[in-house]
């Protein structure tokens, strides 16, 4: 059973939600973050990326940087930019993009659920990427970025959400990228109690996005437990901020690939090698794969449609993924990309950028590009349930949750 509890939320004060809301901290380079933060002094990016408040030469991992985040958080609350609720409750958060709406429950999930596998993961994390968020969460005593979790849909939870959405929203705005964000406070004690009980009927939840933030939250909790040997398990540091969405409302976009060279092969030699594992045909226009087992390939100003050859398909939760087939049958043996996490000859393009980005890369610093059919949420669940890990960059979720709308202080 999943433990998802209501919490005492800190959120923007009335009329400040749009001003504070920010894209996740890790979608920006350091220069991009500084430029974006400078344009909006109350964007939560200023706190999520506190190095933006310092000169460029400042070590972004120095103690003073994290202390700046904590002091800004406190000042914004004192100045009334942020406010704290008086009682624990859930919130509802809805995002609408291109006419498609997904609605999540904002609550606190259990660190122990993460440690014992009730919360399932599908990606490896890197220790060096965790360290920054561990420091940020620990120094601020606040989880500032929600973990995006998914669950198998429940009609009971859907009915409760619908009931809350009939009330006046706490906020409702359209962000600069055209996504509508709306939120509601779950004010009725009976509805809060019903939601908590309904989640206890959910056997597993799944990390959709935020593996490093989730791992960091767990490590901060373990650190606090060590510092407080008399802990009871009820302390707020034993829980982390999460937003949980039903699987049937989520959309995964592909995570496309671009490669710098043909590994010493001529174009003709490469096409011949490709044809050993794919059925290859020229395409008259850019290829956005419309079914599993198909790919687009852009090479020398020509698009190709690739289809997996059935004799090489594997019936396995991981090896059966389209990203795994491409890696196993072409990127590794033909292009020599053995470790896509570390090889500088490969780069990745989120599906939101479209095939135009692939063409642009091939006209600048890359040689060949591949457009993929997106991994499904059910494939993600199958990998996580098998306690396996997906290849790097297998999923791209849109729309992105905004940071700063809901904070968990402990």
- Distance between CA atoms of 73 and 70, rounded to whole angstroms? 5
- Distance between CA atoms of 274 and 294, rounded to whole angstroms? 13
What is the pLDDT, as a whole number, of residue 64? 98
The string of pLDDT tens digits covering residues 166-176 is 999 999 999 99
Q: Strand 255-259 to strand 368-372: parallel, antiparallel, or no bridges (unpaired)? A: antiparallel
Q: Strand 302-308 to strand 239-246: parallel, antiparallel, or no bridges (unpaired)? A: unpaired
- Distance between CA atoms of 95 and 401, rounded to whole angstroms? 8
What is the pLDDT, as a whole number, of residue 126? 81
What is the pLDDT, as a whole number, of residue 129? 84
The CA distances from residue 388 to 114, 124, 176, 245, 385, in Å, are 15, 10, 37, 22, 8
The string of pLDDT tens digits covering residues 21-71 is 999 998 899 999 999 999 999 999 999 999 999 999 999 999 999 999 999
Residue 233 in tokens: 């398990």
The residues that bridge with 182 in the sheet, in sequence order, are 94, 172
Residue 226 in tokens: 């060590």
Provide the CA 200 distance to its chain's centre, in angstroms: 24
Nearest CA among 321, 319, 390, 393 for reference residue 350: 393
Nearest CA among 235, 209, 211 for reference residue 222: 235
Nearest CA among 44, 93, 162 for reference residue 401: 93
**pLDDT of residue 12 exceeding 90:** yes
Three-class SS state of 379: helix
Alpha-helical runs (H) found in 27-62? 30-39, 45-48
**pLDDT of residue 256 exceeding 90:** yes
Residue 196 in tokens: 């908590």
- Across the chain, mean pLDDT equals 97
Omega cis (within 30) before 399: yes
Q: Alpha-carbon torsion 115, 118, 124, 126, what sign?
A: negative
Which residue in the block uniquely carries the two structure tokens 């709406």? 101
Q: Strand 119-120 to strand 9-12: parallel, antiparallel, or no bridges (unpaired)? A: unpaired
Nearest CA among 139, 102, 151 for reference residue 4: 151
Contacts of 242 (CB under 8 A, 6+ apart): 4, 106, 107, 108, 109, 146, 147, 148, 149, 205
Burial class (CB in 10 A: 0-12, 13-18, 19+), 15: exposed
pTM of the model: 0.93
The residues that bridge with 101 in the sheet, in sequence order, are 96
Residue 110 in tokens: 């259990």
**pLDDT of residue 336 exceeding 90:** yes
**pLDDT of residue 128 exceeding 90:** no
**pLDDT of residue 103 exceeding 90:** yes
Which residue in the block uniquely carries the two structure tokens 């259990």? 110
Share of the chain above pLDDT 90, in %: 97
The string of pLDDT tens digits covering residues 265-323 is 999 999 999 999 999 999 999 999 999 999 999 999 999 999 999 999 999 999 999 99
- Count helices and strands (H / E) in the chain: 13, 21
């Amino acid at each position: 059973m999943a433990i998802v509890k209501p919490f005492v939320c800190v959120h923007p004060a009335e009329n400040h939600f749009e001003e504070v809301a920010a894209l996740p901290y890790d979608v920006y380079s350091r220069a991009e973050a500084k430029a974006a933060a400078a344009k909006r002094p109350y964007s939560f990016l200023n706190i999520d990326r506190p190095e933006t408040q310092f000169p460029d030469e400042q070590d972004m991992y120095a103690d003073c940087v994290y202390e700046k985040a904590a002091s800004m958080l406190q000042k914004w609350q004192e100045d009334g930019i942020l406010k704290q609720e008086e009682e624990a409750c859930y919130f509802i958060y809805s995002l609408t993009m291109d006419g498609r709406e997904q609605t999540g429950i904002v609550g606190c999930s259990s660190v122990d659920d993460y440690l014992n596998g009730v919360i399932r993961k599908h990606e490896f994390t890197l220790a060096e990427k965790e360290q920054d968020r561990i420091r940020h969460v620990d120094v601020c005593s606040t989880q500032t970025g929600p973990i995006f979790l998914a669950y198998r849909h429940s009609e009971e939870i859907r009915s409760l959400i619908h009931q809350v959405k009939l009330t006046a929203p706490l906020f409702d705005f359209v962000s600069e990228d055209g996504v509508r964000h709306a939120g509601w406070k779950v004010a009725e004690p009976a509805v809060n109690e019903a939601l908590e009980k309904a989640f206890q009927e959910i056997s597993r939840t799944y990390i959709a996005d935020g593996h490093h933030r989730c791992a960091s939250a767990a490590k901060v909790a373990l650190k606090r437990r060590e510092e407080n040997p008399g802990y009871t398990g009820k302390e707020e540091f034993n829980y982390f901020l999460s937003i949980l969405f039903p699987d049937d409302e989520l959309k995964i976009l592909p995570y496309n690939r671009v490669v710098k060279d043909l590994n010493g092969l001529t174009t003709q030699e490469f096409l011949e090698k490709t044809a050993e594992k794919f059925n290859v045909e020229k395409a008259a226009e850019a290829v956005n794969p419309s079914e599993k087992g198909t790919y687009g390939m852009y090479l020398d100003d020509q698009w190709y449609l690739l289809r997996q050859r059935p004799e090489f398909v594997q019936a396995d939760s991981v090896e059966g993924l389209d990203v795994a087939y491409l890696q196993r049958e072409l990127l590794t043996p033909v292009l020599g990309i053995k470790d896509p996490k570390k090889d500088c000859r490969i780069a990745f393009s989120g599906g939101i950028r479209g095939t135009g980005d692939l063409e642009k890369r091939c006209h600048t610093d890359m040689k060949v590009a591949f457009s993929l059919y997106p991994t499904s949420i059910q494939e993600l669940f199958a990998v996580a349930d098998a306690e396996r890990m997906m290849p790097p960059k297998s999923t791209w979720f849109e729309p992105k949750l905004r940071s700063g709308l809901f904070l968990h202080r402990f």
